[in-house]
A and B are shown apart, each in its own frame.
Chain A
Amino acid sequence: MTGGAGLAGALEHRDVVLAVGAGGVGKTTTAAAIGLAAALRGRRVCVVTVDPARRLADALGGTVLGDEPRRVGPDSRGELWAMMLDPKSTFDAVVSDHAGSPEQAAEILANPFYQRLSTSLPGVHEYMATETLHRLSVDDRFDLVVVDTPPSRHVLDLVDAPDRLTRFLDNRMYRTLVRPAGGVARLAAAPARALSRRLAAVVGGQIVDDAIGFFEAFQGMEEGFVERARAVRALLAADTTLVLAVATPKRDTVATGLEITGALAERGIRTSAAVANMTTFDPWPEIAEWGEQLSVTPELSLRLDGLRDRHVRADAERAVLEPLFDAVAATIQIHRRATELGDHAALAALGGAILEGTDRYDVGDGER
């Protein structure tokens, strides 16, 4: 369970890496490190991050990340591009792509209901992450797209959000509000008006008007959305996509990781690798090998005292990680370090460790 072969082999035949896991496990850093290391090995990589901490953005190249891919290095064989996921502007772009005319797009983009929807609809972050992934996967500039996913407890949103959104846009009840005209439907007009009046009394008239305006403007665009949702699902399930579970050796992040991989599996998407970040480096096995030959001097016992607790912890961590590691083909442990990721070189070293499967690595800035 320690070490392992690393991701280098698994990456060779992939063009998408999707990092999934609980919040706070180092998903963004892991995705960025893999992207940088792959670029250093000759790939043309685009890393999509959700909300990089300032330090990580610095380590990626010091440039401000925007909602379009930007070249951030390196100057060697491959290329590294990076962008930050911006759900609002992504949603705007999707609307513009699918709209029948620029006027239809403009009308939707200006609608207050749409503006709230595009930032606050549950799952909208996840949907836009997959949407961005789809767009980049057909972009010739890149041969590897690494996507960091939003920290979501609603793990299914990632895969289900496109379907959920299309179902939502296809809402029959709203259709009765929107299209009470013509033939049989005219009969429904009076109850529809009554319903919209009662709704307005509860949530406010302006909100109902905005919503109806939005659905009217949206007419005819559902088809394009449904099609795209299908394409995204197929892309995620393809064997050119590597789903990578990221966790830390804590029960809750492992449980979330398993929940995600299980839910993905139910949808035909296999998670084939796992990275455990911040595991405890435990030299005890190396010591134990020499155990009986060691004469315990005060100097040695001082050292051993400091390492016993660490061994107990590392053992417990291994047990905690086991169910997740058993569920995937490739596993990598990255030991916790005293200093946090500081610069480009440190990020490259981390990426190298993940690709090569070495669990200890030098970072160059202060550790040793």
Chain B
Amino acid sequence: MAGKGGVGKTTTAAALARVAVAGGHRVVAVAVGDGPLTDLLEREPTPVESVLAGEELDALILVRIDPEEALAAYLQDNGLSVIGRRMARTGMLELVATATPAIKELLILGRLRQLEQSEHIDLVIVDGPASGHALELVKAPASMASIAKAGRLRSQAEQARNLLCDSARTQVVLVTLPEHTPIQETVEAAFDLEDEVGIALGPIIVNGCASPSPAVEPPTAQLAADVPRAVTDAMDAALEEAHLRHQAERELLAELRSAIGVPRIELPDAPTPSGGVDLVALIGALWGAA
């Protein structure tokens, strides 16, 4: 799942996970870093090793992948455990991560691949980092391949690329809002993902779509006589805004449709501001699309 901050990406990931579980799949939801997925799924993270070992698993498992930990684990696997701890303490680990572009992203992808390969798991749903970073994540194999000509990191990069670029194994679900800038960025991200990375797109989810609202008729003489002008003006301003907003959204969604030829799932604006997503409607819509 990818999308810029505030579009309801995490909520959508949580809903998708629940839908998949209801459909009988064994699902791992993955939070990269310290995202809020824990609260939405109402469960504590399970260690990746327990998932891989198939220990008494729920149908819906939450896993947290911390890039720093992934790097420390990698150093440990390479016989650098003591140094790794010292490096973490002195801030040196950060330096190695910086000096080696894409290493953190590659290690995250490595973890995801382990989960994907597990016989105990049917579906891995990743609540990806915000837009720019999500792109860095999926571009990491190519970046690494360009600097590491051989060795373990090179083969990791190749495995990660195979995972990402196989549409039977990986799809990116873009989440957006029906507003000018998010739509524009979604179109750009879609082209980047398909053309530059070669990764398949799943449906695009558009959260927070306004419900249709008819154009406002000017008040009749009767209404004008009954209700003070200030009150009708305020009412009509609000209704006009609702009408115009719905129209503007339709135009934007038409633009999105003509730019990207993948299915869209349009979800209504939530009645209360839970974070911008109506979870019940979302689950319903995903269920319908599944």
Contact = CB atoms under 8 A, between A and B. Distances in A.
Nearest to B150: A204
Given A25-B6, A283-B237, A337-B241, A173 B226 contact: no
Contacts of B242: 306, 310, 338
A116 B98 contact: yes
Interface residues of B, number: 65
B95 to A, nearest CB: 6
Contacts, number: 175
B179 A299 contact: no
Contact of A297 (B100, B216, B223): B223
B92 interface: yes
Interface string A177-214: 00000000000000000010011011110111011000
A253 interface: yes
Nearest to A300: B223
Contact of A167 (B80, B91, B234): B91
B245 A338 contact: yes
A251 interface: yes
B223 A204 contact: no
Contacts of B238: 281-283, 306-307, 310
B227 A300 contact: yes
B227 A22 contact: no
Interface string B88-101: 00111011101111
A2 interface: no
B240 interface: yes
B38 to A, nearest CB: 14
A52 to B, nearest CB: 10
Interface of B: 4-7, 36, 74-75, 78-80, 83, 86-87, 90-92, 94-96, 98-101, 103, 130, 147-148, 151, 153, 179-182, 184, 213, 216, 219-220, 222-223, 226-228, 230-231, 234-245, 247-248, 271-276
Given A281-B238, A287-B231, A368-B237, 17 more contacts: A22-B5, A22-B6, A24-B5, A171-B92, A173-B86, A173-B87, A198-B79, A251-B274, A283-B237, A299-B222, A303-B216, A303-B239, A307-B235, A339-B248, A340-B179, A367-B240, A367-B244
